[in-house]
Amino acid sequence: MIVEMRKGATQEEINEVVERAKSLNFGVQLNVGTDKVVVAILGSHTGQTPTDVFAVLPGVERVTRIMKPYKLASREFQPRDTLVNCGGVTIGDRRIVVIAGPCAVESEKQLRQAAEAVIRAGARILRGGAFKPRTSPFTFQGLQKKGLEILAAVREEYRIPVVTEVVNPQDVKLVASYADMLQIGSRNMQNFALLTAVGKSKHPAVLKRGFACTITEWLNAADYLLAEGNTQVVLCERGIRTFEDTVRFSLDISSVPVLKRNSHLPVIVDPSHAAGHYSLVPAIAKAAIAAGSDFLII
């Protein structure tokens, strides 16, 4: 349920709405806009509560129900676009930002070369994996802490923000201390313990789409981050699993306008992961931008 306060509603009036919600065992999330405040009333039993319970309170303009299963990620809760600040680079203000870098950090030399190439090509953010979620336990799992140190050194040297993946709730603090943005990988999109930990960190985060998850499930997962008070969330479309076998994953281009319509979060696209072959990347990248995405991860 969304409680929109009148322009100029007092802090006292807002507090009364919050207290009423808490007395009914609901959670509460505030969206403080430039001229008015919106209060989200959260909980699985909101459907059984009449909207009048809040509509009669002083300072309330309107109470509406969010019919979608996701709440905080929805445009109903927040009509204006979210802007995410990744180490000084803004994502979501309609300028295309490119993020690039190697899949895994292998050595300082390799990452330095990558950073130079990336900056020369116009990308604004460097990415590189220190913790790698591999399908088999017998393949290289990333340099881990050593990889984070290399990332931090290159970030310092080239003055470029870095993004890297986190795979364990216990590592969130550690990774956040080295990186400007945390990446939650496709296989962890519904790892709710990890989402909660990244939410609590309030660190900017990229939430990649689970390769077989619907857009609704994806925005529900974003709600896990937002519910902990982390508003710095970027969504990354990276392709879905289908029967087509000329590509590794089928990029779901429709997800870009669907997300833009239903959510306020920035949307980025990872064309290289989906394509699985470099020759297809330019066409898919151009399509992603044409469809309205905010930036690209390559």
In this complex, which beta carbon is closest to its own copies, that of residue 154 or of residue 285? 285
Among 86, 234, 284, 298, interactor with its own copies by CB under 8 A: 284
Residues 95-124 that bind its own copies (CB under 8 A): none
3-state secondary structure of 184: strand
Q: Considering the rule CB under 8 A, would residue 69 count as an interface residue with its own copies?
A: yes
List the interface residues with its own copies, window 223-242 (CB under 8 A). Answer: 223-224, 227, 240-242
Question: How far apart are alpha carbons 167 and 125 in whole angstroms?
Answer: 21
Question: Cα–Cα distance between 209 and 124 in angstroms, integer?
Answer: 22
Q: By C-beta, is 91 or 194 nearer to its own copies?
A: 194
| Cβ nearer to its own copies, comparing 153 with 289 | 289
Rounded to 5°, angle at Cα 193 from 261 and 153:
85
User: Using CA atoms, how far apart are residues 298 and 295, in angstroms rounded to an integer?
Assistant: 10
Per-residue DSSP letter, 278: G
Q: Is 278 a binder of its own copies (CB under 8 A)? A: no
- Does 54 engage in binding with its own copies (CB under 8 A)? no
Q: Which two tokens stand for residue 278?
A: 């470099």
Residues 181-220: x where in contact with its own copies by CB under 8 A, - otherwise, as a string: ------xx-xxxxx-x-------------xxx-xxxx--x
Total of chain residues touching its own copies, rule CB under 8 A: 72
Contact window for its own copies (CB under 8 A) among 3-11, 13-21, 87-95, 167-175: 167-175
- Are 40 and 75 spatial neighbours (Cβ–Cβ below 8 Å)? no
Tokens of 297: 């991860």
How far is the CA of 31 from the CAs of 68, 73, 78, in angstroms?
18, 11, 7
Q: Which CB sits closer to its own copies, 13 or 228?
A: 228
